[in-house]
Structure 1
Amino acid sequence: MPELPLVAGAHLVGSINQPTAEATFRVVAQELGGDLARIPDGEVGERFHWILFQGAAFDAVDGLSRVPIDPIVVAGFDLRPLVLDGSAAASDLVFGSLGYADAAASSYADFTRLRDAGVIPAGTRFQVCLPSPLAPITTYVAAPDRAAVYPAYAAALAMEIDRFAAAIPADDLAVQIDLATEFAYLEGVSLGGGPLEAFFAEGGADAPELVDAIAGLAAELAARVPAEAQLGFHLCYGDVAEKHFVEPADAGKLVAVANALGAQLERRIDWVHLPVPIERTDAAYFAPLAGWALPAETTPFLGLVHHEDGVDGALARLAPARGAFAAAGVATFGVGTECGFGRGPADRTASLLALHREVIAAAG
């Protein structure tokens, strides 16, 4: 019988409900600093609602216009799709700053100051979280024009990496790419405008080529991350009012995407985070983890920490996960929440961070 893996370390996927980056760093370091290899800035300010602030970047591009319908307002953002308006060719579209590099530079200054002061443990890296290009394109561009607009936005997001990588030493940097919209394509669900059609791949939602195409798009962006920086992926089924856009039947598609990323990227992947729904304590959900094929240098983190049922609930989910990972030869894995928790109550933050530490200690 294979030896059960150890449970060690925690990972924060990005969003944390604090008013500033400094407040995020302080509460995270106080409650969980010793169990974290890297700390994000909490996605504060305009990034509070993940990618919704990117609508302004699309509005600023000559050649794109909103469809002439009433605004579709979500959390204060207009989600009316944009289309190519004929004033510029798709190949001539140019995006300006997307905001990610500017935010990273500002937060990194706070991060280094607090680390130098001993608030953040020495050796901790600064974590920058980015969406894949597919997410904003799917959210803000009308379906017929997504394929044409994608290259310009993908190039702009790659430039954001170049900009913050020039400002932050690679050996101090960790970059996470969030793959959430990808699982809506894989599950064949609607995110509000009808079932998604994968403009970037042949076949439908069940086609094996779709997993490879999704990994390929993410790998193109990941290739811009400096080799000396850490790289990870947050695989996600969405988080609207702390609910997925669809509950995964099991971890199968998550593992398939993780394995495809490992196969397509020549560089090291330091971590992959996978969600675990609160009600899934059954072996069937975790069984696909036995097919985990990434090397030992890639640490899996399972998002099985839920504030609703605390340590006992997390341990109930840990038990079948350990057995499945053991079958794959995984020696160690870590824990996290299912997704970011920045849109939950701010007064829950400290206790939820502490819960990670309590789960790790109880797991033994």
Structure 2
Amino acid sequence: MAPNEVLMVGSVPETGPQEVFCRLLAALPGRLQAVPDGETGERSNYIGWQLQRFPRVARRNELGGTPLPELGSPTFSLEDIEPTGYDEAALSSYAEFTRLRQQKIVPPDVLFQIGLPSPYSVITGHIKPELAIAIEPLYEQRVAESIDHIVANIHHNDLVIQWDLCFEITALEFNQGRLTDKRHQPYFSTSVLQGLVDRVVRLCKRIPGDVKIAFHLCYGDLRHKHFVEPEDTSLLVEFANALLSHERIGSRTLWIHLPVPKDRSDAEYFAPLAGLKLNGLDSGSKSPLLYLGLVHANDEAGTRKRIETAQSSIPFTFGIATECGLGRTPLEEIGSVLQICKDVTTERSSEHL
């Protein structure tokens, strides 16, 4: 049986939210349980637009940071960290979302999807490692303020917040010795897995319990290359299970998304997913809790093969997606991606609506 749901991971190379909403909903009728605003404009470079939120002395040297003073590390306060801007972008896009819903372009059952990078990813990507511990709680506070503003102004039953976890995955791979670039070395000294989970839990505690959450587990998409190729899904399953086992997270997680490389249509890649502990999660939802990022542009045959192998390898249904957002995908490939997503799926039945 063909999958009947598609996840758009986040970014889409369009001019603005209206164009993104309209294009995705027209291209994928009856297949989306949530729709993102496309992370257009300055947000299209993932975390890049957050660099200016930090003082220059705290930024990595290769990103234009200034040298540390010779007489010891500087101290920082919240005033040194500018607001994230994620809340303002979300509220502007939500206004467009509600307008299109009133025009019946957005179906009543489709949620407004907000993708947020974890503070850990932003800090790892932008901040000098020796200053990360000092900067982290301040930036987390700015993210918390953005969350507060979002949940105070968007109807909770319209909303799903997806945490985009990229440098968490590279930290776990570094810990296993599969990445050697020191940039990916965790800047904290506690257990790597537990330290990463604790940080996600802190964020989720800030989100009211009636707001759905989701997770995009990412191996990176820099120039359409992963930081390291996953051996299989075992590390992703370990991280996902550690997240989902926490009471603040599991009971309201709407989905987990993970990548499937283009050349992995073998059962060995998918086999560890049999150990993904989905039982008891968001039991009121009839939508899939797992999205596999197995759609690749101009490769419908390969996509179908990956779906077939996954279906024969894991004991539960799943939806489909690309490996990462489409923001850096060449425009000429977007039509191919959307057409494949439509052609290899069916519309949701009325029981999902």
Change (3 A) 1:6 1:224: farther
1:198 maps to which residue?
A: 186
- Alpha-carbon distance in structure 2 between the residues aligned to 1:166 and 1:185: 33
- Of residues 260-269 and 42-51 in structure 1, the stretch that sits farther from structure 2 once superposed is 260-269
- 2:339 maps to 1:354: yes
Greater share of residues in strand: 1
2:39 maps to which residue?
A: 43
1:217 maps to which residue?
A: 199
Aligned pairs, number: 336
2:310 maps to which residue?
A: 321
Maintained 8 Å contact 2:3/2:318? yes
Change (3 A) 1:6 1:84: farther
Amino acid in structure 1 at the alignment position of 2:103: A
Choose from 214, 239, 242 the match for 1:260: 242
Deviation at 1:161, TM superposition (A): 0.8
1:129 maps to which residue?
A: 115
- Alpha-carbon distance in structure 2 between the residues aligned to 1:186 and 1:219: 17
- Alpha-carbon distance in structure 1 between the residues aligned to 2:179 and 2:126: 12
1:205 maps to which residue?
A: none
- Alpha-carbon distance in structure 2 between the residues aligned to 1:284 and 1:191: 21
Maintained 8 Å contact 2:54/2:80? no
Gapped regions of structure 1 (runs ≥ 5): 73-78, 203-208
- Alpha-carbon distance in structure 2 between the residues aligned to 1:109 and 1:150: 31
Change (3 A) 1:98 1:87: same
1:207-234: CA deviations, max 9, x gaps?
xx42232122112112222222221000
What TM-score, normalized by structure 1, do the two folds share? Answer: 0.85
Maintained 8 Å contact 1:133/1:153? yes
Maintained 8 Å contact 1:273/1:300? yes
- Alpha-carbon distance in structure 2 between the residues aligned to 1:30 and 1:357: 10
Matches for 1:138-287 after TM superposition, within 5 Å:
138-188=124-174, 194-202=182-190, 209-266=191-248, 267-287=251-271
Deviation at 1:92, TM superposition (A): 5.5
Identity of aligned residues (%): 38
Change (3 A) 1:191 1:162: farther
- 2:265 maps to 1:292: no
- Alpha-carbon distance in structure 1 between the residues aligned to 2:66 and 2:21: 36
Maintained 8 Å contact 1:250/1:284? yes
- Alpha-carbon distance in structure 1 between the residues aligned to 2:296 and 2:341: 9
1:309 maps to which residue?
A: 299
Amino acid in structure 1 at the alignment position of 2:165: L
1:206 maps to which residue?
A: none
Deviation at 1:295, TM superposition (A): 2.4
- Of residues 43-52 and 289-298 in structure 1, the stretch that sits farther from structure 2 once superposed is 289-298
Maintained 8 Å contact 1:83/1:141? no
Change (3 A) 1:172 1:354: same
2:7 maps to which residue?
A: 11
